[in-house]
Amino acid sequence: MMQQPIPAHGGELVNRMAPADDLAGLTQEASSLPRIDINSRVHSDLDLLGVGAFSPLTGFMNQADYASVVADMRLANGLAWSLPITLSTNREQAATLTAGARVALVRDGEPVAILEVEETFPYDKQREAELVYGTKEEAHPGVAALYAQDEILVAGAVTVLRRKPSEFDEFNLAPAQTRAIINEKGWRTVVGFQTRNPVHRAHEYIQKCALELVDGLLLHPLVGDTKSDDIPADVRMRCYQVLLENYYPLDRTVLGVLPAAMRYAGPREAIFHSLVRKNYGCTHFIVGRDHAGVGNYYGTYDAQKIFEHFAPGELGITPMMFEHTFWCNTCEGMASTKTCPHPADQRIALSGTKVRQMLTDGEMPPIEFSRPEVAQVLIDAYRSQDSVATQSR
């Protein structure tokens, strides 16, 4: 066996899944414990805590870690970490929780984990919003989710009884499974690519530029909770599959999924996404323009500049920075602002609104923007959506 190419963040891949031999007993125990009901977003965090995607975290953050992460993007021990991973509850329930108590975390009436309470503490939502998301505006989807939380945070290690159900079981590989595949393929360097959108020609271009420099590509779309107007995950997955089948070397690519909720935290989420992909075995991570952005809350390249906050090598994964890319008619190929000298009217750059309108009309976007196989998947999905909407009227 070859040595793994990169250690997990913090040095060791965490496993907080209940051992198979203990599962029946823990499930029975959970049925009689006090309960905290959790929503889909927290359930996603819990799932990723269980399989070690959030290594070195073993549970929901205590006050020292929370305060340090919000203020300085580091855990209390100084290790880089950019987003708070927390569990909230109301004041009445928090008053009943004492250190050492065991609590069942429940989703849709079923216990999915047991938490051993370390402490409970109040927190300032507006301060977290300003420092983590860069805004206090509730129009920001991440801030809205934060404001919807309860008033007290509950810290403690978790034991996860079962993974969150996924419609993408074939691709929902845990970090240990992904690392095993990387090991089997003999890859020493692996670049991860985060997306919540179908891959268009600009994405393909930067992925293949990166693939020229490393052994393999982990195409790792986020399939947890996203905004209501984002393209559904099942449609996106069909796009990725047809793209990889037709345009990528299959021996140098792996398609997996990250079942995380999207926070739209821009620069901070770029750091978070890179550290999570490090836990999946990536040595490099692609950071493009406006990574994890939403609206006009972040500057175009803020998600790249934030990496300067950390010393070279400190994160343990190498960011690969790319400029805005496009098709240039004069260059007759894909290019970026670094490589193309031609004016904007020679560049194919369609707005999301324009593309959606073309798809709704059954019109194929130009091949310079999207591969036809991908566009066809999207057209079929839009037609199906329109058909369902028409029938429901």
Amino acid identity, position 57: L
Question: Residue 336 forms beta bridges with which residues?
Answer: 325
Predicted pLDDT at 393: 40
For residue 331, pLDDT over 50 is answered with yes
Indicate the pLDDT class of residue 359, thresholds 50, 70 and 90.
confident
| pLDDT tens-place string over residues 367-381 | 999 999 999 999 998
Strands lying side by side in the sheet with 333-336: 333-336, 325-328, 347-348
For residue 229, pLDDT over 80 is answered with no
Predicted pLDDT at 383: 82
Q: What CA–CA distances, in Å, run from 314 to 52, 71, 81, 232?
A: 20, 18, 11, 35
Task: Specify whether the CB–CB gap between 152 and 138 falls below 8 A.
Answer: no
Predicted pLDDT at 231: 85
Predicted pLDDT at 4: 55
Among candidates 247, 242, 181, 239, which has minimal Cα distance to 215? Answer: 181
Tokens of 72: 């300085």
Q: Which of 10-14, 323-327, 358-362 has the lowest mean pLDDT?
A: 358-362
185 phi, psi to nearest 5 deg: -80, -10
Predicted pLDDT at 390: 40
Mean pLDDT of the chain: 93
Q: Going from the N-terminus, what domains does the chain have, and what CATH number goes with each? A: 20-160 (3.10.400.10), 175-258+264-391 (3.40.50.620)
Of all residues in the chain, what percent carry a pLDDT higher than 90?
Answer: 85
Tokens of 16: 């907080």
Q: What CA–CA distances, in Å, run from 271 to 83, 254, 255, 274?
A: 9, 22, 21, 5
- Residue of 107, 197, 252, 356 with catalytic role: 197
For residue 389, pLDDT over 70 is answered with no
Predicted pLDDT at 55: 98
Tokens of 215: 């052994």
For residue 1, pLDDT over 50 is answered with no
Mean pLDDT across the stretch 332-338? 94
Predicted pLDDT at 198: 87
Indicate the pLDDT class of residue 136, thresholds 50, 70 and 90.
very high
Indicate the pLDDT class of residue 226, thresholds 50, 70 and 90.
confident
C-alpha–C-alpha distance, residues 82 and 357, integer Å: 37
- Residue of 196, 201, 263, 289 with catalytic role: 196
| pLDDT tens-place string over residues 8-60 | 999 999 999 999 999 999 999 999 999 999 999 999 999 999 999 999 999 99
| pLDDT tens-place string over residues 147-193 | 999 999 999 999 999 999 999 999 999 999 999 999 999 999 999 99
Predicted pLDDT at 391: 40
> How far is the first Cα of the chain from the last one, in angstroms, to the nearest whole number?
59
3-state secondary structure the chain: CCCCCCCCCCCCCCCCECCHHHHHHHHHHHCCCCEEECCHHHHHHHHHHHHCCCCCCCEECCHHHHHHHHHHCECCCCCECCCCCCCEECHHHHCCCCCCCEEEEEECCEEEEEEEEEEEEECCHHHHHHHHHCCCCCCCHHHHHHHCCCCEEEEEEEEECCCCCCCCCCCCCCHHHHHHHHHHHCCCCEEEEEECCCCCHHHHHHHHHHHCCCCEEEEEEECCCCCCCCCCHHHHHHHHHHHHHHHCCHHHEEECCECCCCCCCCHHHHHHHHHHHHHCCCCEEEECCCCCCCCCCCCCCHHHHHHHHCCCCCCCCEEEECCCEEEECCCCEEEECCCCCCCHHHEECCCHHHHHHHHHCCCCCCCCCCCHHHHHHHHHHHHHHHHHHHHCC
C-alpha–C-alpha distance, residues 299 and 267, integer Å: 9
For residue 388, pLDDT over 60 is answered with no
C-alpha–C-alpha distance, residues 238 and 227, integer Å: 19
Predicted pLDDT at 154: 98
171 phi, psi to nearest 5 deg: -110, -5
Q: Is 197 a catalytic residue?
A: yes
Q: What CA–CA distances, in Å, run from 28 to 51, 92, 320, 362?
A: 22, 26, 47, 53
| pLDDT tens-place string over residues 276-292 | 999 999 999 999 888 99
